[in-house]
Amino acid sequence: MKIVIVGGVAGGASAAARARRLSEDAEIIVLERGEYVSFANCGLPYHIGGVIPERQSLILKTPQDFKTRFNIDVRVRHEVLAIDPEQKSVTVKNLTTGENYTETWDRLLLSTGAAPIVPPLPGLNETGVFSLRSINDMDAIIAWIKQHDVSHATLVGGGFIGLEVMEALTERGMSVTLLEMGNQVMAPVDPEMASALHQEIRNHGVDLRLKTALKQVTRDVAGLSVELSSGEKLRTGMVLLAIGVKPESRLATDAGIATGERGGIRVNAQMQTSVPGIYAVGDAVETQDLVFQSPTLIPLAGPANRQGRIAADNMLMNRGSTYRGSQGTAICKVFSLSIGSCGANEKQLAARGRRYEKVYVHSADHASYYPGAAMISLKLLFDPQNGTILGAQASGQNGVDKRIDVLAVAQRAGMKVADLEHLELTYAPPFNSARDVVNQAGMVATNVLFGDTAICHASDIQQLDPATQCLLDIRNPGELTQFGEYPNALSIPLDTLRENLGRLPKDKEILIGCQSGLRGHVAYRILTAQGFRARNLSGGFKTWQAVLQATE
């Protein structure tokens, strides 16, 4: 069997290596348009920032490596121009010699990836305007900074690449302006979870402009300028576009291969396209969203690697290996803060009319009495009727990856929130608490699910009706001074609540606020046992404050 793979990196390279491990006899050819067939594209910002000092570290495998170990014919700087499904052939251009030739195949795999989104704005073709998708892009950015002694950069887009490059350039000692058209950076999380990220960014001197779009780039004798949607103009030494990516599916559509509503190549669970014998993987394909069971685009390296393996299994062995949907599990480091997510966020659930409930937990990443403990804030989204885990988000200095990974596994395994409190996770004071943050989130959600508590959210506090509701702050006086106060709240510390029940109106619903939600549950149980109608603010003042910051 002869397998031709169009494109390397995560999807194509993993498929090629897996195919060889499955068959010593197959002829395997990889056609890669760029100069590098296997490189760590996720590591590019870290070389720009100097965290990864050696450029060579990013080049994972060379064509000679593939030939020596796997007997795979890798041809870099070879661009596939067209696919002929009838003749089972591709037209290839050797970009070094300019020669065109035809290559036949028994099985064809498309791993064409995604291209940076470049909006139709004036001036984006000026020198000094960059995107970051390849080694060559990285080299060009570093060279520009050195040659022009750049002191200020404007980044457009607050997604993963924008945030990572923002940190990298800041670590180089440059001033950075980050433009984000939306009301938050890192769209996979909800606004109140992103508010800590906004604070971290600004604390490191970055000029973060939310709800601000790029209007145009201009160049004069003094250099580059950017005009913003506000009308303001800024001088800058370079512009980097990190608005997002779009699937490179033109080669497929020109060959009559079906694409989906999101513009990606349509594949089934075996990674087969609409044309027999042709498979596709990676950033170019639409896969099934695990929560909504609808097509989605997930331009991440992990899914691309797994899809490449599955495609190789099915091309060679026809063993029915399937890709089981995408959760979009992801994490990003921004200075000393990490923020990660899996599954659906609240914005997506609300937009699709899906029923959901949410709980917040704020807890130390390991035993609070052991030195170095830091806070993790976790948001858990679930179905209020059956406890199905719909999504999770977390932020903190340490341990965010562990908690999101555990929740991603639980979600994929079909576990319910009630199962989370029973997870037996590692514990020793330097690493964890006896009740892990995930255990705690499961306990809080299960209390809601089973009716052991009733919760409210920041929106309920914002819309509080004084005629029918009363806001009760059960924190100690020192906390009010240190952290701030709820608006128009009656203050009764928890430990004095029982002897002050007479101060509470029996004819009104009591909305309870504490610092993190934990003591509020205790107060809720006391009040409801005495016949009061009550609800506890999930996440307490920490979440309340985050919501306020997100709406400023």
Which residues carry out catalysis?
Answer: 42
Pair 129, 123: CB distance under 8 Å: yes
d(CA 419, CA 149): 55
Q: In the block, which residue shows the tokens 């200095």?
A: 397
DSSP tag of 259? B
**Angle (nearest 5°) at CA 241 between 235 and 247:** 165
Q: Environment class of residue 444 by beta-carbon count within 10 Å: exposed (0-12), middle (13-18) or buried (19+)?
A: buried
Closest-CA residue to 12 (of 27, 24, 26, 29)? 29
Encoded tokens for 9 = 């990196």
**Cα→Cα distances 356→340, 377, 483, Å:** 20, 19, 30
- Non-local CB neighbours of 100 within 8 Å, separated by 6+ positions: 81, 91, 92, 93, 94
d(CA 347, CA 49): 33
Positive or negative torsion for Cα 255, 258, 261, 267: negative
Encoded tokens for 550 = 């997100």
Helices assigned H by DSSP within 181-259:
191-203, 250-254
d(CA 412, CA 325): 9
Encoded tokens for 4 = 């031709």
**Angle (nearest 5°) at CA 273 between 268 and 277:** 120
Encoded tokens for 405 = 């990974």
d(CA 54, CA 244): 27
**Angle (nearest 5°) at CA 534 between 528 and 538:** 120
Integer distance in angstroms from the first to the last C-alpha of the chain? 61
d(CA 161, CA 240): 10
Q: How far, in whole angstroms, is CA 320 from its chain's centroid?
A: 30
DSSP tag of 264? S
Q: In the block, which residue shows the tokens 């000029």?
A: 207
Helices assigned H by DSSP within 450-517:
458-462, 477-483
Secondary structure element (H or E) that encloses residue 303, with its range: helix 301-316
Number of Cβ within 10 Å of residue 352's Cβ equals 12
